[in-house]
Amino acid sequence: MKKKIQTPETVKLKRRAEIAFAFYIAAVLMVTLSTTTCLAANDPLSVVNNLSNFIFSLIRAIGLILLGFGIMQVGLSLKSHDPSQRANGVLTLAGGIIITFTKEILNMITG
């Protein structure tokens, strides 16, 4: 087996990496331990509504990403004349529309 020779440069680089990792861990711990309650209110129903609005906004963001990806797929399929990619793009586009408007669809169903 070969024994690795450590030069002063590698020792210095390793030490810098350890210091950088320690700062990273300290920053993560500070952010984690200094959190505050962000959805609190006096009324428990408003807390649930705030959480619901937050979750639906995340779902809407995912739907918009899928919508953009579907548009890109359809555009690329038109350029490359690939019908299977076009079908996948249309399905992704339809899924993105449905996911984007999930809250409105649920409100329409429940009345």
For the record, the structure tokens of 34 come out as: 């200094």
Angstrom distance (rounded) from CA 39 to CA 43: 11
Question: What 8-state DSSP symbol labels residue 101?
Answer: T
pTM, to two decimals? 0.58
> Distance (Å, rounded) from C-alpha 73 to C-alpha 20?
41
Mean pLDDT for the stretch of residues 88-111 = 91
Token pair of 102 as six digits: 């999930």
Domains of the chain, by residue range, sit at 1-35, 42-111
CA 96 – CA 63 distance, rounded (Å)? 5
The pLDDT tens digits of the residues spanning 19-33 come to 999 999 999 888 888
pLDDT single digits (tens) 54-68: 999 999 999 999 999
